[in-house]
């Protein structure tokens, strides 16, 4: 396995990364490139951009939010630049208490209208089950709802400008150059956010019984409808230096945003993914089962790239967190009416054979420190 010389990313990765001749990954190169950008110039470009939309529609823009620190940062920018924003939330109903508090406070704090949409309970439960069985991702419904619903509302309410936070695979893996000003595309949504699956993959499954009428927040608008409104998804990370640690400080200090009181099992960060309880839990544990790493790696990478910790510190974090069985697994199994044995039966189908070997009936892999360990 090849690992980045600077951060902790491995070559086998759900995020498309590659390495330069010095063995540094594209994610680290992107993180370094951000320091070369003239951010004052970028802010001016942003001001020029929003001029085209201000005061011309029912709302100047849509800001998709989950209530997390990055959502607060986006709403903070919308407020700072006097945009009349409409907040839009796809709500998974499985939030930690602080996440619910943060989400519900946004309307009051920022003074924006806020649409919070949630599918029916039985639809969600079925989608959790199908997500695990078919895609190895219980939270696929969440990825789909988060990335699709704001575009649906944009078309319905004829609001062309959608302000997204960062483009995930660029921020983590350097998928695009910061100088490309990449915008939201349906292709990225389908191939990356949704790993090539779409709403129809959840329908006509014999024992789950979902059909198109259950799929409202997941069906992407038709191309001609988007064009008619001129829907455009702009990433704020192209115009403002994007740093989760700073977003956290701004959210907490200016707006009383709350991090999780109870630490997460699978990461040292208490201010990331405070919304859905399974994002840092079962969902991330599935990433470990599939690829052999999790949020310990992801969150340590951010801090290494910001020079807040060393790579050696990062390795300790990875070995401490990435393999941990999360405490929400039991609650999740109860929620979807599945036994733990069934969970593993489905999850094990997705183990990458380049990462995992079964030795004497136990799953083993070689860790970042070069040692082979058993993870059962």
Pick the stretch among 4-12, 135-143, 219-227, 316-324 that binds Zn ion (CB under 5 A).
4-12
4 touching Zn ion, by CB under 5 A:
yes
The total of other beta-carbon atoms located within 10 Å of residue 55's CB is 9
Q: Closest approach of Cβ 1 to Zn ion, in Å?
A: 14
Pick the stretch among 2-10, 88-96, 107-115, 290-298 that binds Zn ion (CB under 5 A).
2-10
Nearer to Zn ion, 92 or 172 (CB): 172
368 touching Zn ion, by CB under 5 A:
no
Q: Closest approach of Cβ 177 to Zn ion, in Å?
A: 16
Answer for the pair 312, 129: CB distance below 8 angstroms, yes or no: no
Our CA dihedral for 243, 247, 250, 252, rounded to 10 degrees, sits at -140
SS3 42: helix
365 touching Zn ion, by CB under 5 A:
no
Nearer to Zn ion, 8 or 135 (CB): 8
Rounded to whole angstroms, what are the CA distances from 6 to 22, 34, 129, 221, 295?
Answer: 10, 16, 38, 41, 17
Residue 164, exposed/middle/buried by CB under 10 A (0-12, 13-18, 19+)?
A: buried
Nearer to Zn ion, 18 or 52 (CB): 18
Rounded to whole angstroms, what are the CA distances from 274 to 204, 225, 267, 277, 298?
Answer: 33, 34, 12, 7, 16
Task: Look up residue 40 and give its two tokens.
Answer: 């004052």
Looking at the chain, which runs of residues are DSSP E strands? 61-64, 85-90, 113-117, 161-164, 232-235, 357-359, 362-366, 372-374
Nearer to Zn ion, 118 or 245 (CB): 245
Nearer to Zn ion, 7 or 210 (CB): 7
Contact characters 189-208, Zn ion, x per CB under 5 A: --------------------
Q: Binding residue for Zn ion (CB under 5 A) from 6, 30, 143, 295?
A: 6
Restricting to residues 7-36, which ones interact with Zn ion according to CB under 5 A? Answer: 7, 9, 25, 27-28
Phi then psi for 365, rounded to 5 degrees?
Answer: -155, 160
Nearer to Zn ion, 7 or 324 (CB): 7
304 touching Zn ion, by CB under 5 A:
no
269 touching Zn ion, by CB under 5 A:
no
Q: Closest approach of Cβ 230 to Zn ion, in Å?
A: 37
Interface contacts to Zn ion, rule CB under 5 A = 4, 6-7, 9, 25, 27-28
């Amino acid at each position: 396995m090849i690992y980045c010389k600077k951060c902790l990313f491995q070559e086998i990765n759900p995020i498309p990364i590659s390495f330069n001749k010095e063995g540094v990954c594209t994610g680290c190169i992107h993180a370094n490139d951000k320091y070369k950008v003239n951010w004052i110039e970028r802010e001016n470009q942003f001001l020029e951009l929003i001029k085209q939309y201000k005061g011309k529609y029912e709302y100047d823009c849509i800001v998709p939010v989950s209530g997390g620190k990055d959502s607060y940062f986006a709403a903070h920018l919308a407020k700072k630049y006097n945009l009349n924003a409409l907040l839009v939330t796809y709500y998974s109903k499985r939030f930690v208490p602080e996440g619910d508090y943060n989400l519900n406070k946004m309307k009051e704090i920022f003074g924006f209208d806020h649409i919070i949409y949630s599918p029916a309970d039985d639809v969600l439960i079925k989608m959790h089950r199908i997500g695990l069985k078919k895609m190895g991702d219980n939270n696929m419904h969440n990825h789909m709802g988060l990335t699709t619903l704001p575009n649906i509302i944009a078309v319905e309410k004829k609001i062309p400008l959608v302000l997204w936070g960062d483009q995930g695979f660029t921020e983590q893996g350097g998928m695009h150059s910061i100088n490309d000003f990449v915008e939201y595309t349906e292709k990225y949504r389908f191939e990356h956010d949704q790993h090539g699956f779409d709403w129809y993959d959840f329908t006509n499954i014999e024992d789950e019984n979902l059909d198109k009428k259950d799929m409202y927040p997941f069906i992407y608008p038709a191309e001609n409808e988007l064009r008619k409104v001129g829907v455009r998804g702009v990433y704020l990370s192209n115009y403002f230096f994007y740093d989760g640690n700073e977003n956290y400080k701004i959210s907490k200090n200016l707006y009383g945003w709350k991090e999780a009181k109870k630490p997460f099992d699978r990461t040292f960060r208490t201010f990331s993914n405070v919304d859905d309880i399974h994002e840092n839990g079962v969902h991330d544990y599935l990433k470990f089962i599939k690829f052999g790493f999790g949020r310990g790696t992801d969150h340590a990478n951010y801090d290494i790239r910001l020079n807040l910790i060393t790579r050696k510190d990062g390795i300790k974090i990875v070995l401490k967190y990435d393999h941990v069985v999360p405490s929400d697994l039991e609650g999740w199994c109860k929620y979807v009416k599945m036994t733990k044995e069934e969970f593993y039966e489905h999850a094990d189908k997705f183990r990458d054979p380049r990462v995992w070997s079964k030795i004497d009936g136990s799953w083993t892999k070689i860790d970042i420190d070069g040692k082979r360990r058993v993870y059962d």
